Structure 1
C-alpha cells in the first residue's frame, strides 16, 4: 500500500492543512495528474540534456547563458516545474519521486554550465585548484604575503581534504572534478535540509516544496569549488543533527508530554564536534555563524541541555584554532574588525550596487536578486505572523540569527549576501508554508505554486547565469586554457607572471614559484598610469624582481575591462602599444590569448 502523506501543514493547523491535497480539487482526474507527475521527470531530463548539445557559448552577451540557451532548455525547465506541481497534487506521491524532481532541479541549475562550457570556468575555482596542486607538490600551503594567499594557509581544511581525495583516488588534479562542485555540494545539502524541514512539519509535501523554493532562491554565487561551499554544507548538517535532537515544544511534531530534555548522547556530541572541527579549520566566517546560531538555539530553556554541550565545544574549538593557527590573521585585522562593530548600516549596504550609475544589465540582475531576497524574507515574516505553530519551532531562531552578522563586519562587501545565504534554509520553509495554503477554496489559491515556482526558476537563472561585468569572463575558452598552460609550463622558477585582471585560467599555478602582479589589484593612480603607459608602468611594478617577466592578455580580460571600465583604455590598445615596444616580445599566441616576454633594455644590456 502506498504511503499516505501526513495531513498537517503545521501542528496548530491540525485538521486544516492538506486535508485535501495541495492545490487539488477532488473532482480532478487524479490518475491523470499522477501519470503526468511520473512521466514529466524523465522526459524533462531527456529534453534538458538534448538541449545542451549545441549551445553557442561564444554568442553570450551581458546576460550570459540566459541569452544563448535554446528554447528546449526552457521547455524542459517548465515541464520539470509543472511536473513537480503535479506531484504535490497527489497525496500518494512517494519521497523518492519528490527527491528525483529536486535533484533534477539541482542538475538544471548547476550542471548546465559545466556541461556547456566543457571545463572549469570560475576564476576563483581555478585558484583553489592551484592551491591544491601546490599542496600536493610541496606538502603545505606556502605563505605568500604579497598575494593575499596567507589566508588559505591559516584555514587549510578544504584544501587538505581535496588533496587526500586526489591521493586516495589516484586522479591527476582537482581540475577533473572542480567544475561539478556546485552540483555535488547542493545535492549533498538536500539530505540535511529535509531533516530540518521534517522537524518543522510532518508534511512530506511541504518539506519537499520548501526544498524547491530554497534551491531556486539560492542565487548567491557562493557555491563554487571553494571552502565556503564545503563549510556551508557542514553548517547545515550540524544544524540538522542539533534540531533533530531538540525536545519539541507542545503542539509541534514529535512532542511528547512529560518528556524532559536530555543531554545529547556522547556519540552524537563527538560526531557533531568532529564536523565542527572540519568547519573551524576550513573557513573564517562559517564558525562564527555557527556559534551565533547555536547561541540563539540556547535561548529557549528546553533546548539548553541539548545545545549547550555542542555550543561550548564549538567555542572551545574555534578559540583554540584562532589563537594558534589563525592568530596572524586576527592580529593583522583586529582594528578593522573592531571598527566593523560600530558600522552595522555600512556593513549591510556595502555590497549593494549603486543603480544610478549601473548598466541596464546590472539593474536587471540587481533588482531580480533583491526581489528574490526581499520576497523570501517578507513571506517568512508573514508566515510567523499567520502560522502561530511556526513560532514554537526553531525556525525563527535559525532565520534570525544570521542577521547578527550585519553588525559585525562588511566582509569585503559580502556580509549581506552571506547573512541571506545562512538564513535561507529556514526562510524558504517559512515562505513555502505561507504559499501552500491549506484547503484552497478558489482557483486563485490553487494556482499559487504553478505560478510562483516557474517565476522563481526564471529569477534564479537571471541572477546566476548572467554576468553584467562581462560575459567573456563567465568562462575560459580552450585556447585561453592552452595559453595559460603553455605559460606555466615554460616559465622558469622565479619568473613573474602578470596580467591586467585576474581572469587568467590557472593564474595561480605554482604560485609558490612564480610571483604575480595583477594590474586590477593596484591603487587607482597606478591603473591610470598603466592605461597611459603600460610598458613603463609594468616596468616600475616589477623593478627589482629577479627572473623574466611574462604578461598574458586574453579575451576574458578584454571582456572584464570593457564591461567594468577597470582601466580607461581597451586591451586591444594595450596590445598595440606593447606589440611595437622593443622591450616586449610575443612568445606564444593563439586566437584568444597572447603571452609577452618583458625584457627591459637595461637588462638586455647587462
Structure 2
C-alpha cells in the first residue's frame, strides 16, 4: 500500500489555485454569451435591465463571489484582484458598447458635433459666430485632443469610437486611485476592495464621452501627486521636487482648459489639504489658483461675464441647488426603479463609509486627508446647481474617499502602512463572514439598473440616426430644426450653420399652447426663418422616451402634436422611418396652393 503520510494536507476548494481562474473565466464566458444573445430592438422602461440575457446576471454574480473569495484567501497571487477588477470594468462599461449598434447619450452626440466643428472651422470661434455653443470653444482641451485622434485614426468622426469611451475613461482612473489608496495602506485587500466599490458606486454616468471624464481622471492624478510627493511641511527644494512640480502644473493646465467645474473642485480639495499639518506646501494650491484665474480672466471671460449674475444668485440657495439635481420627475415603473436603485446604492456606500470611519480609529487617523477629501466637495452645494447636476458631481468627487472607508467597513481587519489595525475588533462569528459578500453582491448587481436602467431614452437605433442625418443633409444654411427636446442623435449637428429650437425648454404657458393648437403654434414659431433657410420639425423615438420617462409630456400629447403637424397643409413630410418622422414648413407660396 502506498504511504501518503508525507503529502501536504489537502486545501479547501476555496484555497485551490485553480479557483480564481475558473471563476473569472466562467464569469467572462457567461458575459460573452449574454451580450451575443441580447436583443435591444424593443427596449422597455427598464432599459438594459430587462433586455439583457439572464446569463449576464449569473456572470456578474459569479465574478463578485470569485473576487471576494480570492480577496479573502490567504495564499492568493496578488495579480488575481486586479484581474477581477478589469473583468468588472469590462462587464460594467463594455456591455453597452457591444449590444448597442450606435453610441448612447444625446450629450455624447453633442460633443461629437463640437469636435466636428473644430475640424470644419480649423480654429476656435466666439459667441458672435456660435452663440451659446461658444462655451465649448472656451474650454477646448478635450475636444481638441479628440479632434486629433479623429485625424490620427483616419475615421469620419468620433462617433465611430466614442461608444467605448466609458471603458477607456474608467481604465484611466485606476492608476491614480491605486496611488491614492497605496499612500495610506499596504493592505492589498483594502486597496482592491476600495477600487471595486468605487467602480460599482460610480453610476452617475460621467464616464461617457465628455470633458468631465478626462478632467476627473486628471483631478485624481493631481491629488495622487500631492498626497505622495508634497507631504512635508514645506518645499523640498530638490531637483526631484521640481520635476513633480512640473508634472503637477501640466496636469492642472490640462484640467483648467478642459472643464469648467473640476478646477473649482480641485481648488477646494487642495485648500483642505493645505490646512492639514502634513500638507503645508503652498505650491499645489497656488499653482492651481494662478492657472485657474489666468484662464478665467482670458479665454473663459466672455462666458463667465454672461453667466456670473445667475451664478451669484444661486450661491447659498442649497435647497434649490439640491432639488434641481434630480431634474425632471421620473415617470413609470422603470424610471422610478432606476432612480431608487441609484439612490440606495449611493446611500449604502456612504453609510458603509461612515461605519468604516467609526470602526477604524487608526485608519481614520492615518487616512485623515482622504477623509477630508471625501467631505471637501459638500460646500459646492452652496455654490450652484450646475445645470441641475451638482448633486451628481458632488457624489462623484466624494466617491474615492468614501469607497476607501466603505471597504474598511466590509473587511474584518485592515492594515495601514505600519500595523494591522485590530483595536476594538473581535473575531467575527462565522455566520457574519458572508454578510459582507452579500452586501458586495447586492451593490454590484444594483449598479446595472442605476447605470443602465434608463437606456430606453439614452439609446438611439440606427434608423433614428439615419432620419436625423437625412434632415441635416437637406437643410440649407441658416435653417431651423425644431423638436420637443434635445434627446436625439445629432441634435447639435451643424450648429454653426443651423439653428435649433426645443419647445419643451419654453415656459409652461407656451408649451400648453403648443399642446392645444400644435400645427398653428409651431408654424408661427418657425415662420421667422428667411430664405434660403428652411424650418423643419422633427419627431423621434428618443424625444418620446425622454418626455414620457421624465414626466414632461405624455405619449398621447406627443402623438397629438405629431398628428396635427402631419395633417396640416402648412407642413410637408420630408423624411420618415420606423424611428420617427420629419416635416418642413412650407414657404408661403407653397402653403397657398
- Shared fold (TM-score greater than 0.5)? yes
Q: For the residues of structure 2 that align with 1:472 and 1:366, how far apart are their CA atoms?
A: 14
The 1:348–1:556 alpha-carbon spacing in structure 2 relative to 1, beyond 3 Å, is: closer
Cα pair 1:127 1:509 within 8 Å, conserved:
yes
Q: For the residues of structure 2 that align with 1:244 and 1:30, how far apart are their CA atoms?
A: 40
Partner of 2:93: 110
Cα pair 2:328 2:552 within 8 Å, conserved:
no
- CA deviations on 1:175-220 (whole Å, 9 max, x unpaired) are 1111111111001111111111111211111100110011111121
Match of 2:484 among 500, 503, 518: 500
1:173 Cα offset (Å): 1.1
| 1:580 and 2:567 aligned | yes
Partner of 1:293: 269
The 1:548–1:348 alpha-carbon spacing in structure 2 relative to 1, beyond 3 Å, is: closer
Partner of 1:318: 292
Partner of 2:543: 557
Q: For the residues of structure 2 that align with 1:549 and 1:475, how far apart are their CA atoms?
A: 26
Q: Give SS of 1:266's match.
A: helix
| 1:571 and 2:558 aligned | yes
Partner of 2:77: 94
Cα pair 1:500 1:557 within 8 Å, conserved:
yes
- Structure 1 gaps of 5+ residues are 1-25, 249-258
The 1:316–1:247 alpha-carbon spacing in structure 2 relative to 1, beyond 3 Å, is: closer
Partner of 1:375: 348
| 1:269 and 2:269 aligned | no
- CA deviations on 1:541-586 (whole Å, 9 max, x unpaired) are 2232221112221222222233334236433322322222112111
Alignment map for 1:330-409 (pairs within 5 Å): 330-352=304-326, 359-389=332-362, 390-393=364-367, 394-409=369-384
CA RMSD of aligned residues (A): 2.4
Q: For the residues of structure 2 that align with 1:31 and 1:464, how far apart are their CA atoms?
A: 32
1:142 Cα offset (Å): 4.1
Q: Give SS of 1:402's match.
A: coil
The 1:365–1:277 alpha-carbon spacing in structure 2 relative to 1, beyond 3 Å, is: same
Q: For the residues of structure 2 that align with 1:424 and 1:360, how far apart are their CA atoms?
A: 28
1:260 Cα offset (Å): 8.5
Partner of 1:148: 132
Cα pair 2:471 2:582 within 8 Å, conserved:
yes
Q: For the residues of structure 2 that align with 1:379 and 1:459, how far apart are their CA atoms?
A: 16
Cα pair 1:193 1:425 within 8 Å, conserved:
yes
- CA deviations on 1:142-169 (whole Å, 9 max, x unpaired) are 4458863232122111111111122223
- Structure 2 gaps of 5+ residues are 1-8, 414-425
1:354 Cα offset (Å): 9.0
1:235 Cα offset (Å): 0.6
Match of 1:41 among 20, 24, 48: 24
| 1:66 and 2:66 aligned | no
Alignment map for 1:430-441 (pairs within 5 Å): 430-438=405-413, 440-441=427-428
TM-score, normalization by structure 2:
0.90
Q: For the residues of structure 1 that align with 2:548 and 2:83, how far apart are their CA atoms?
A: 42
Q: Give SS of 1:300's match.
A: coil
Count of residue pairs the alignment pairs up:
565
Cα pair 1:384 1:391 within 8 Å, conserved:
no
Q: Give SS of 2:379's match.
A: helix
Partner of 2:420: none
Deviates more, 1:539-548 or 1:132-141: 539-548
Partner of 1:491: 475
Alignment map for 1:170-319 (pairs within 5 Å): 170-247=154-231, 262=236, 265-305=241-281, 308-319=282-293
Match of 2:517 among 519, 529, 533: 533
TM-score, normalization by structure 1:
0.88
